[in-house]
Amino acid sequence: MNRTEPQTPSIAHFGTTAALALLLTASKIVLWRARSYAKYLEEQATNVWSDGTPLLDLSHEELHRCIIQKALQRGIDTVGTITQINDLHYTSSKEDLLHRKSANIYYQSSSSSEASNGRDVDENDCTSITKCEAIQVGGISNNKLPVLTLAPHFILKPLRLSHKTQLGARDGKNDKTKIYRGVRELAFYEYVLEAASWLALERLVSELKPLVNDNEHIRIGAYISLVRLLYRLGKPHHTMSHYNISHISVIPKSSQVVDELCLLAAYQIGDQYTLSVIKSCISSWYCFAKEQLDLMHMAEFIPPYSGLVDVKNPSQNTSVLSIQQPHLILRDITSSFIHPNIIDIKMGTQTYEPDAPKSKQLRETQKYPMQSEFGFRIVGMRVYDPATGNYRYWDKSFGTKLLTRRDCNCALKAFFQCGKGSEMKSTSLNVVSYVARELIKIKEWLEYNTTLAFYASSILIAYEGSICTDTASNPVLKIIDFTHVCRRIGGDPGYIKGVEHILSILSEITVELNTS
């Protein structure tokens, strides 16, 4: 008996050891599975939104074609009635523009008929595309074609869609921030339209926000149910956002449930790896949804967009591959004025993308070192002189010479025609205070925006330049030029800084006007 007694604990011990080993192996498998699933979720979340990337997946040329095709169709719907196209004379238009560039301080247009810029055109004749060098104050450079007008309400901005031939020699083929600039701007406008149509957005953002802020307890169950909600919302992919969602390969349901259970188990035992991956996933998904909400609210500050047109072939179906002279169709913000005064102000403390080559970064910083301090620079402006019936133009070289705050104050006073006699004073005061109110709205939106930075974008302001009548339209302010928009956690403080500076100069101008 005694000889057999020791065997009982040994069997029991063996049983316990085996059970423990089984448990350990099972938990290792669960942990392994949870971690691979977490990694998979993280990869997808990174595809959806990551800090510092452009809005458009640059490597995805099939997606680019999709966007161009969609924009072309939208454009055909807009300009389908065009029957007559004036000769475009690009070369002479460009020379006209560059002539201004070489002029010292300002260029005076040679005739008032040029200055009227098609506004004598019969309003019913909405079928012609013409040159519009008279209203173009920015975007004038050796490498750029001029902006056109499509009377009476649109401007056509030339887009560089084909990336093979149009790179500046200086940066060679390596400047990724320039290669896709045309399709990026197009995609931006398409994206804004798409964001506005996604109804569940507010709810999604409000459900995700507490998860992002909850550092102590990541409510993983809630996160999983939100990811499922996003899958359900994922529509067929025409746009970048939904394209991203619908291309996440959905795991078969049975396997997904097991993976989710493993994830929950790993979460319960406090596996640090799983916890950190999940946290970064939550943050990406939140930024993804918030970005669209930011864009939805931005829509009121950008010119209405109507698609893409090939001015060589405006009214027919052009295929993406045969497109010759692509132009973005935007509402002309100056069209409600008889003699619009216009200013283009490039905003932000940095005018290049974080990924721009060092040579470009240096060029931009040297162009106007004060940009980082002021957060803005005047790229071009024009002001109507009722006494002569002509316009005065100030080009980008003028803007880069404004080295002090006082210089900027004087330049803005010239734009708002302050000091032009007592009859102008009350008009100037009205315009300045209206513009300031609109800038405050833009600033509020910028403070709400936590996901985007608008490198090298501008605020375009237009107001009536004729001696004011009571019927004059209010000034118009819009944000333009979305070639270099990037995702950025925290939004664009450099842009806000620029708006704040302009606002404080406007309030100085108001005081000066009131006391003069």
Ligand X SMILES: O=P(O)(O)O[C@@H]1[C@@H](OP(=O)(O)O)[C@H](OP(=O)(O)O)[C@H](O)[C@H](OP(=O)(O)O)[C@H]1OP(=O)(O)O
Ligand Y SMILES: Nc1ncnc2c1ncn2[C@@H]1O[C@H](COP(=O)(O)OP(=O)(O)O)[C@@H](O)[C@H]1O
Binding to ligand X in span 184-243, by CB under 6 A: none
483 scored as a contact of ligand Y (CB under 6 A): yes
Taking the CA atoms of residue 406, residue 411, residue 415 and residue 419 in that order, the dihedral angle to the nearest 10 degrees is: 60
137 scored as a contact of ligand Y (CB under 6 A): yes
Q: Output 33 or 346, the one with its CB closest to ligand Y.
A: 346
Q: Buried b vs exposed e over 473-483: b needs ≥16 C-beta within 10 Å?
A: eebbbbbbbbb
Binds ligand Y by CB under 6 A, chosen from 260, 271, 310, 332: 332
174 scored as a contact of ligand X (CB under 6 A): no
Task: Choose the one of ligand Y, ligand X, none that binds residue 194, judging by a C-beta under 5 to 8 angstroms depending on kind.
Answer: none
Shortest Å, Cβ 462 to ligand Y:
7
Containing 460, the helix (H) or strand (E) segment is strand 458-464
How far apart, in whole angstroms, are the C-alpha atoms of residue 171 and residue 404? 31
Shortest Å, Cβ 441 to ligand X:
23
Q: Output 339 or 484, the one with its CB closest to ligand X.
A: 484
The size of the chain, in residues, is 516
Identify whether the C-beta of residue 301 lies closer than 8 Å to the C-beta of residue 495.
no
Residues near ligand Y (CB under 6 A), total: 23
CA angle 129, 130, 133 (to 5 degrees): 140
Residue 174: which residues within 8 A CB-CB, separation 6 or more? 357
Binds ligand Y by CB under 6 A, chosen from 34, 56, 72, 155: 155
Binds ligand X by CB under 6 A, chosen from 35, 40, 47, 168: 168
Q: Angle formed by the axes of helices 405-415 and 493-515, to 10°?
A: 70
Task: Choose the one of ligand X, ligand Y, none that binds residue 363, judging by a C-beta under 5 to 8 angstroms depending on kind.
Answer: ligand X
Task: Choose the one of ligand X, ligand Y, none that binds residue 460, judging by a C-beta under 5 to 8 angstroms depending on kind.
Answer: ligand Y
Binding to ligand Y in span 373-392, by CB under 6 A: 380
Sheet holding 148-150, edge to edge: 129-131, 148-150, 154-158, 326-331, 305-310
Binds ligand X by CB under 6 A, chosen from 157, 178, 420, 497: 178
How far apart, in whole angstroms, are the C-alpha atoms of residue 48 and residue 58? 13
Residue 197: which residues within 8 A CB-CB, separation 6 or more? none
Going residue by residue from 259 to 298, which x/- string records binding to ligand Y, judged by CB under 6 A? ----------------------------------------
- Within 10 A of 254 (CB to CB), how many other CB atoms are there? 8
Query: How far is CA 154 from each of CA 87, 138, 341, 374, rounded to the nearest angstrom?
Result: 18, 17, 17, 32
Going residue by residue from 468 to 497, which x/- string records binding to ligand X, judged by CB under 6 A? -------------x-x--------------
Closest to 161 measured CA to CA, from 175, 173, 178, 149: 178
Binding to ligand X in span 105-144, by CB under 6 A: 139, 141, 143-144
How far apart, in whole angstroms, are the C-alpha atoms of residue 175 and residue 357? 6
Listed ranges 302-310, 313-321, 360-368, 424-432: which one lies at the site for ligand X (CB under 6 A): 360-368
Question: In a 10 Å sphere around its CB, with 0-12 CB exposed, 13-18 middle and 19+ buried, how is residue 240 labelled?
Answer: buried
Task: Choose the one of ligand X, ligand Y, none that binds residue 143, judging by a C-beta under 5 to 8 angstroms depending on kind.
Answer: ligand X
HEC sequence for 336-385: CCCCEEEEEEEECCCCCCCCCCHHHHHHHHHHCCCHHHHCEEEEEEEEEE
Q: Output 137 or 226, the one with its CB closest to ligand X.
A: 137
Label the pairing between strands 106-108 and 305-310.
Answer: unpaired
Binds ligand X by CB under 6 A, chosen from 35, 242, 279, 367: 367
Containing 331, the helix (H) or strand (E) segment is strand 326-331
Shortest Å, Cβ 128 to ligand Y:
17
Q: Output 178 or 413, the one with its CB closest to ligand X.
A: 178
Listed ranges 216-224, 330-338, 368-376, 440-448: which one lies at the site for ligand Y (CB under 6 A): 330-338
Q: Output 198 or 374, the one with its CB closest to ligand X.
A: 374
Q: Output 144 or 297, the one with its CB closest to ligand X.
A: 144
Identify whether the C-beta of residue 204 lies closer than 8 Å to the C-beta of residue 380.
no
Binds ligand X by CB under 6 A, chosen from 33, 74, 163, 181: 181
Residues near ligand X (CB under 6 A), total: 14
How far apart, in whole angstroms, are the C-alpha atoms of residue 194 and residue 234? 13
324 scored as a contact of ligand X (CB under 6 A): no
Task: Choose the one of ligand Y, ligand X, none that binds residue 137, judging by a C-beta under 5 to 8 angstroms depending on kind.
Answer: ligand Y
Q: Output 290 or 339, the one with its CB closest to ligand Y.
A: 339
Residues in contact with ligand X by CB under 6 A are: 139, 141, 143-144, 168, 178, 181, 360, 363, 367, 396, 456, 481, 483
Residues in contact with ligand Y by CB under 6 A are: 135-139, 144, 147, 155, 157, 303, 330-334, 342, 344, 380, 458, 460, 480-481, 483
